[in-house]
């Protein structure tokens, strides 16, 4: 168990095993620079942002019991981000997944759940690039869009659910 923020620089890697637990009142995992990779099979439960990668990166929430939970679940900014989810990602005050000022992809498996108070998955500004959301599970928001992006492709497979107070918003692209 780690009580406090884990800081990654450059192409740093964090592998939080199935028995691993990261807790803090602030940010759980903070990628300062580079494109770090975070693999979580355990739990990251925090009061602030669970995973914040400031210069892009990759997050894999692996296994049906894997949990990423915070005010915001995952925030990836300023460079492309990739998120794959087999477990649960929750933003209790913000979005489940936010990728800002870049594009990338979010893939939610049949066992995956992504929820957020203000949005399930939000690509804030893709800067003209094409973002991708592929859903086999559940993406939902109690107060906003299930998925919100200005440019991209949203695929909701048979049996999957996208649910939000405001539905799905896609500026330009394909649903």
Q: Residue 175 pLDDT more than 80?
A: no
Q: What string of DSSP letters covers 63-115?
A: STT-EEEESEEEEEESS-EEEEESSEEEESSSEEEEEESS-EEEEE-TT-EEE
pLDDT computed for residue 127 by the predictor:
78
pLDDT computed for residue 124 by the predictor:
84
pLDDT computed for residue 172 by the predictor:
81
Give percent of the chain with pLDDT exceeding 90.
Answer: 86
User: Cα separation of 116 and 47, whole Å?
Assistant: 14
* Average of per-residue pLDDT values in the chain: 95
pLDDT computed for residue 171 by the predictor:
81
Task: Name the nearest CA neighbour of 69 among 84, 54, 86, 90.
Answer: 90
Position 48 confidence tier, pLDDT thresholds 50, 70, 90: very high
Position 3 confidence tier, pLDDT thresholds 50, 70, 90: very high
Q: Residue 105 pLDDT more than 80?
A: yes
pLDDT computed for residue 166 by the predictor:
84
Least reliable range by pLDDT among 42-46, 102-106, 114-118: 102-106
Q: Residue 44 pLDDT more than 90?
A: yes
């Amino acid at each position: 168990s780690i009580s406090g923020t884990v800081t990654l620089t450059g192409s740093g890697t964090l592998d939080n095993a199935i028995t691993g637990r990261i807790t803090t009142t602030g940010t759980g995992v903070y990628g300062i620079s580079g494109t770090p990779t975070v693999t979580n099979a355990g739990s990251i439960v925090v009061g602030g942002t669970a995973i914040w990668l400031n210069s892009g990166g990759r997050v894999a929430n692996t296994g049906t019991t894997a949990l990423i939970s915070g005010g915001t679940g995952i925030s990836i900014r300023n460079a492309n981000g990739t998120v794959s989810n087999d477990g649960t990602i929750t933003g209790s005050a913000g979005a489940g997944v936010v990728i800002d000022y870049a594009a990338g992809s979010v893939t939610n498996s049949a066992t995956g759940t992504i929820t957020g108070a203000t949005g399930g998955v939000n690509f804030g500004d893709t800067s003209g690039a094409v973002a991708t959301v592929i859903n086999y599970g559940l993406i939902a928001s109690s107060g906003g869009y299930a998925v919100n992006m200005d440019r991209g492709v949203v695929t909701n497979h048979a049996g999957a659910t996208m649910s939000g107070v405001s539905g799905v918003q896609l500026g330009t692209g394909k649903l």
